[in-house]
Structures are given as structure tokens and as C-alpha cells.
Structure 1
Amino acid sequence: MSLQKVARAKSMAERIISGDYQVQYGFLRDYVLELLNTNPGTTVRIDVYPETSLFITTRTFRRIYVCLGALKLGFKSGLRDFLGLDGEDLDLGPNSNFTFISDRQKGIIPAMEKENMKKQLKGKDLSDQLWECGRATTVNHFNRAMDELKKINAEAHAWVSKIPTNTWAKSHFSGRAHTDCLLNNLCEVFNSKLDEGRDKPIITCLEYIREYLMKRLCVVQKIIDKCEGLLTPTTTTLFEKINTDASNCRFWEITGFPYRHVVCAIWDKIENGENAPHFDEWVHPCYRLSTWKAMYFKKIDPLNGRTMWPKSDCPFTLLPPKHRTPLGMPKKKRMRGVDDPNSQAGRLSRKYLAVTCSKCHNKGHNSRTCKG
């Protein structure tokens, strides 16, 4: 068989397995109705490109937003006001004190969108000191770290000083979020799990994400069923390793974990017969096993086959978005930002590295240009 015939056969097989790219947009509204019927509390929004005339009976798909009811209830049961994405659909009131963590690519903080530290100011010592500033848990510790940063690079110090400290330094966190995260790793891990479904047809892609989340909930539930005690396993491990000194007293306020001096004081009260709760009970409720169980109690329900989906009465037919196939091999992996740990953008090129000759072992040239 020719390569062209094999390619056509493969394309036909993929359409049978994953579905047709264009046809699935016509069933998308029916899929949404089935999703809403089988998973109460779910919210779905379909956005289309506007048309110039109301008499046009078709609409071109732009994007879709899905918030599964089980995950929404689980998040609200977690008692942690911390979001890696958007909180518009979590029934949050106007007085909510939620903390948002961004990947610095979507313009949540415009000042941080214009410039990037890694692009302009490089060096390991500089990077380490910047992390020292971000990890400081008290204002005095932060100020000392910033002074050291100024000694290393005054330009970097001036650039960082322009960014509001409550958006990147632990020392200025309010403590409401009960987390000390400085990176958007939670969202990055979730994104990495979706790579295989990105190039699938729209409904197949949505089902890939939903099925992954179903499996994830079941995996965590199996772990929960084996747990005992007041705190979650991870919290118990971290709590046992707490060895911070008295200078990090705001650690308790920021993360919800009592530091070791508080634990010692509680132990002393208990040993002397005073009526004091066990030190586990001083940890914030968001770290308790009961809270973890409540987060994963609600499950994502399966869907019926397509022949049993309800029919949408929307008068407009959905069309796939306009797509132009670029030249060359298709890119399946997502574009990584310069702040991504695996990004190539933030790495030094060879011209900034000191080359060592393999012959004379002197720096500044290689073995091909060696004259020794």
C-alpha cells in the first residue's frame, strides 16, 4: 500500500474512534444538555462569534466554559479561599476574600505583564536572592532580604520594588488563603494531564477532561478511605517536620500551621494537667481529614450514549471555528511561558556561558580553536 492510502486509512480510523471534528460541533448543545441533566449544579456557557444579520441560522463556535457541579461543591467544602483560575461561577458573594494566583500571562496584574524578571535580569545568585525575598515570612526578614538583593543588583531591586509586595512576598500575605504557594504549579500540573486530549474533536476533548476528573476523584477517595486521625496525611507529615524558629512566627498566620514553639507550649500545658486541646486541633480546619472527605464526597456522574441525549431547541446551528492548517508538523504541546519550569525561554544561551577547553582545560575557547 502507498503511504497516501495508509494515511487515509489512519484518518478514517481516528474519526471512528475520536469522532469527526466538524460533526461534533453540531451535537455540542445536545452534549451540554446531557451534562447538565446527569451532573446537577454544573454550569456551561458556550460563546460564539457574532453575526451581522439575525437571519443567519448558523453561529461559529468561539469557546466553551464548563464548571462541574461536583467540583464546585468540593471546592466550597475545602475552606480555603485560594484560586488558581477564575472564581466567577463559584457563587461567591461581593464580600469574598479570595486570593488569586496567576501565571503572569493573562494580564491579571498589568504591571507584571509588561516586563519579566527572567528576560531582563539573569543569574543564579540573583534568582536565589529573589526567592529569599519571596519566602520571607516577616516584614523585617523581607527588608533584610531586599537589602541583600540591592547589593547584588540595584537594577533588579528597583524593578522588584515597583511590584506590590502583597502579590508575591509571603511577608505581606494576608493569611486568608491559608497557603504559602508562590507558583502556579497546581494549574500547571492539571494542564499537563490534558495534553493527550487537546487535539481531539470538541466533545471527545471535553469527555477526556471529564473522565480524567472522575478517575482523579475515585483515586483520592480510595486514599481517604484508608486514612485515620484528625488531619490529612500530607498535613500530618508536614506538621511533624515543622522546625521553624521564633523569627518565623507569622508562619502560623500565613499557612494555618502552628510553629514548633506553639506546639511545645501546648504540650507543656497538657503535661501540667491544664485543659488544652490537642495540638492537632490548633491547625486550621482546611487541613483536617473531615474537610478533605467533604471535598471529594460528591462524584462526577457518567453520561448516557449519544442516542439518549436530549435534543437542543436552539434555532442556531453551531459551526466549528475557522481553522488554518499551518505548514510543517502540528504542535501538540501547549506554548510554555518564560516562567514555566520547563520553558526554554528563560535559559541562558551558550554565548553567556564560560566554555572550557577539553585539551588544555583553560576557559574562553574550545578544543577546536585551542592553540596550546
Structure 2
Amino acid sequence: MDNHKQLWARSKFSTTSKCDYVTNNIVETFNGWIREEKSLPVLDLMDKIRQLIMERFCTRRQLASKLSGFKVLPHVMKELHNKSRNLKYTIHRSGPMVGEVGGVNKDLVPWRFIVDLEKKECTCRGWQLTGLPCVHAIAYIGTRRVELKDFVDPYYSVEMFKAAYATVVAPMPGKEEWEKVDIGFTLLPPKCNRAAGRPRKRRLVGAEEDGSSNRGREGVKGVVDLATSRKPAMKLS
């Protein structure tokens, strides 16, 4: 708020979440996941979400059973090995596990960071934020006789993956077999006037998502389709 209200730097945020980006992708993904079910009544919607989660947990548990022998998730190690290629940095050791890693950027401006393998920290804060060794730490780890996987946060471990999906979502019978419960009162639906026409299913697109131009193109397309669909008038002889 003191520097720029619209430009945020992930490096200034908490290191607890172990994530290097700030987006609403999970919201968009969930919205697309239940796109066909969003118009259902509340009970049917919640039951469908339960079924989707039940199937997802089952699939992830089956995947986790195939990861025996791995300490860190394979796709995480693949990403780290890709980052370790062609790292041409200068390294100066202060101790067995602490040192300086330096280089120059694309504008030939020199830079230098301190890497501490014991604390799993780098002054660029990339390691602390993501839980994954940054390129500076990877370069320093490459000079030591140690394993790269030993410096990855437990968040990315196979054991953590298994623990995340260990819970089994129990199946449920149909609504006709649910137990009838007397809650002591009658809950009536709210009074509302339904708008004319078919209910909207697609969400409103914000202006920051180029929504205005999309609406404009859709409007023009609708006029063109309407005009081309009209039959020509009959000529009277």
C-alpha cells in the first residue's frame, strides 16, 4: 500500500505457503469443474461436488501407490534438474554449506546472493518462498557432494502427497434412502422474482479480462447472425 497499490511482489509475502505466484487459478479451476452442475439445487449440487472429490481422492491415492521408492515427487525433481542446466555463476565458499553466488544479468549488471544450505535459505528469497532450491542454491549444491532432493521442502515429498489424499470420502445412497429428520420448523424458500428468459450460466467477464471487447464482438456476431437468418421477402407479381 505504501509503494504501489496495483503492483505486488511475491518476495514480500509470507514464506509459509510455499508458492511463488499469487493468482486465482484454483477458483477458476473449481468454477470450470462444476460448470454443468452449478444450476442444480443446493442438495444436488453438494452431492455432485462430493462425488467429484471422492473420485479425485481415489485417483490420487492410486497414483501415490505407484510412487514407492521416491522421496520427492518426480515432476518436482524434473523441474529442478531442468533449472540446473547451463548455470554459469561464480561461486565463492565461506564454509562447507555457506557461500556467495554471483553473476551478471542480461543488462550486464552484476548481482550476488548468499546461499546457506544448512538453513535452506538464499538472500533472493526464492528458496524460502517456494520450498524449492533457487538457481543460486542449485549452483552451489552442484559444487558439494550432496543430493539435490535433500534440500527440497517436505511439502513436495511423496509422503506429504500420500497424506493429503489419505482420507477416504465415503459413498452415499440416493436421497430416497436418506434418514428423515424433523428439524422442528419448516424452512421456506426466499421470495424472489425470477427474471424473464433463460437463466445465465456463463459468468460475467471482468474488464481486466478484456471482457468489454469480447462482449462487443459477441454483440456484433449476434446482429450478423440475426440478419443472415431472415428470409427474403416474397415479391408480388
TM-score, shorter chain, exceeding 0.5:
yes
Question: Does the Cα contact within 8 Å between 2:133 and 2:151 map onto a contact in 1?
Answer: yes
Q: For residues 344-363 of structure 1, give each alpha carbon's deviation from its aligned partner in whole angstroms, at most 9, with x where no partner exists.
A: 2477979xxxxxxxxxxxxx
Q: Secondary structure at the match of 1:221?
A: helix
Q: For residues 294-328 of structure 1, give each alpha carbon's deviation from its aligned partner in whole angstroms, at most 9, with x where no partner exists.
A: 00011211113334423323112122233432123
Q: CA deviation at 1:186?
A: 1.3
2:15 pairs with 1:163? no
Gaps of 5+ in 2: 90-101, 103-110, 114-123, 218-237
Cα distance change on mapping 1:266 and 1:161 into 2, 3 Å: closer
Aligned pairs for 1:114-125 (under 5 A) are none
2:19 and 2:77 map into 1 onto residues whose CA distance is 16
Question: Does the Cα contact within 8 Å between 1:339 and 1:346 map onto a contact in 2?
Answer: no
Q: Secondary structure at the match of 2:60?
A: helix
2:231 is aligned to none
Amino acid at match of 2:138: V
Q: CA deviation at 1:255?
A: 0.9
2:13 pairs with 1:188? no
1:339 and 1:193 map into 2 onto residues whose CA distance is 23
2:74 pairs with 1:233? yes
1:255 is aligned to 130
1:293 is aligned to 162
Larger helix fraction of residues? 1
Aligned pairs for 1:204-353 (under 5 A) are 204-228=44-68, 229-242=70-83, 249-270=124-145, 276=146, 278-340=147-209, 344-345=211-212
Q: CA deviation at 1:283?
A: 0.9
2:213 and 2:157 map into 1 onto residues whose CA distance is 39
TM, length-normalised to structure 2 = 0.65
Q: CA deviation at 1:260?
A: 3.1
1:234 and 1:324 map into 2 onto residues whose CA distance is 51
1:169 and 1:301 map into 2 onto residues whose CA distance is 42
Q: Secondary structure at the match of 2:143?
A: helix
1:203 is aligned to 43
1:284 and 1:346 map into 2 onto residues whose CA distance is 44
Gaps of 5+ in 1: 1-110, 112-159, 271-275, 351-372
1:335 and 1:184 map into 2 onto residues whose CA distance is 16
TM, length-normalised to structure 1 = 0.43
Q: CA deviation at 1:251?
A: 1.3
1:323 and 1:210 map into 2 onto residues whose CA distance is 28
Q: For residues 110-160 of structure 1, give each alpha carbon's deviation from its aligned partner in whole angstroms, at most 9, with x where no partner exists.
A: x8xxxxxxxxxxxxxxxxxxxxxxxxxxxxxxxxxxxxxxxxxxxxxxxx9
Q: Secondary structure at the match of 1:328?
A: coil
Q: CA deviation at 1:262?
A: 2.2
Q: CA deviation at 1:203?
A: 1.4
2:55 and 2:208 map into 1 onto residues whose CA distance is 30
Q: Rg bigger for which structure?
A: 2
Q: For residues 330-349 of structure 1, give each alpha carbon's deviation from its aligned partner in whole angstroms, at most 9, with x where no partner exists.
A: 21123333445xx5247797
Q: Secondary structure at the match of 1:293?
A: helix
1:175 is aligned to 15
Amino acid at match of 1:335: L
Q: For residues 26-73 of structure 1, give each alpha carbon's deviation from its aligned partner in whole angstroms, at most 9, with x where no partner exists.
A: xxxxxxxxxxxxxxxxxxxxxxxxxxxxxxxxxxxxxxxxxxxxxxxx
Cα distance change on mapping 1:345 and 1:219 into 2, 3 Å: farther
